[in-house]
Chain A
Amino acid sequence: MWVYEKKLQYPVKVSTCNPRLAKYLIEQYGGADGELSAALRYLNQRYTIPDKVVGLLNDIGTEEFAHLEMIATLIYKLTKDATPAQLEEAGLGAYYVNHDQALYYQNAAGSPWTATYIQAKGDPIADLYEDIAAEEKARATYQWIIDLSDDPFLNDSLKFLREREIVHSQRFHEAVEILKEERDRKKIF
């Protein structure tokens, strides 16, 4: 089971109401390479991955939910004081009609989240390579959002999240090596 802790993983601040940036940031909320996809992918793969790397998938998957909460907090803070007119001006008119100020799992272009974004192949190497690719894509997405953002507080949080993707990718690479080593040892004996 999980236990909720009443804190964010990292302090989250924004300079000002900015629905334009929220519209881009929602890519990391309900997009293909976003935090929801990451959390659900890893926590789902862990049931059938070899014991040696279950812990890693469990722990990275759990951290992804903390990242999802940071993204939600950023979107909430960027939009909570926006008027309908400001949302419309930022390209969120259709979003407002469907959701008011509520958060919704969709990507920046408005497509709702779908399980087709994630795979569970059952082959541990295939699954871990998907995980590595997912981390690299998430890292790149954070960079592209930072490039479009002029909010130093938002960028501080996004840089933290970008660095976490690099660490996750590194750990998944190590997991691949651990499994390859184990496989080769079995072949010898």
Chain B
Amino acid sequence: MPESYYQLMEKIQAVDFVLVDLTLYLDTHPDDLEAIKQFNQKAYESKQLKAEFENQFGPLLQYGLSYSNYPWNWKDAPWPWQV
């Protein structure tokens, strides 16, 4: 895969990691307003980055959470363990 695939993927992984970690934190600290603000900000950033990634490299999400090109490209390699 081109270098840009890895660069963009790593940006997504970094933002999504913050979202995972904040999710667990908020599950036990549901009243932390600053954390919720950060969560919503990161959720927005994640969506932007994924739209950019999907334009170049195809859908990231299954079952209609990403749009398809023609022909159907969800099933296309590479899968995550292949890169």
Chain A residues contacting B29 (CB-CB under 8 Å) are: 174
Where chain A touches its partner, the secondary structure class is helix
Q: Is the CB of B24 within 8 A of A60?
A: yes
Contact of B24 among A69, A76, A77, A171 (CB under 8 A): A171
Closest chain-A Cβ to B16's Cβ sits at a distance in Å of 8
B13/A5 in contact, CB under 8 A: no
Query: Taking chain B's interface residues, is the majority helix, strand, or loop, or is none over half, making it mixed?
Result: helix
Q: A3-B65, A6-B59, A11-B13 are in contact. Are A171 and B28 (CB under 8 A)?
A: yes
Q: Are B17 and A11 in contact (CB under 8 A)?
A: no
23 of the cross-chain contacts (CB-CB < 8 Å) are A3-B61, A3-B65, A5-B61, A6-B59, A6-B60, A6-B80, A7-B16, A8-B80, A9-B13, A10-B13, A11-B13, A53-B27, A56-B28, A59-B20, A59-B23, A59-B27, A63-B20, A63-B24, A73-B80, A73-B81, A168-B24, A171-B28, A175-B28
Interfacial residues, chain B to chain A (CB-CB below 8 A): 6, 9-10, 12-13, 16-17, 20-21, 23-25, 27-29, 59-63, 65, 79-81
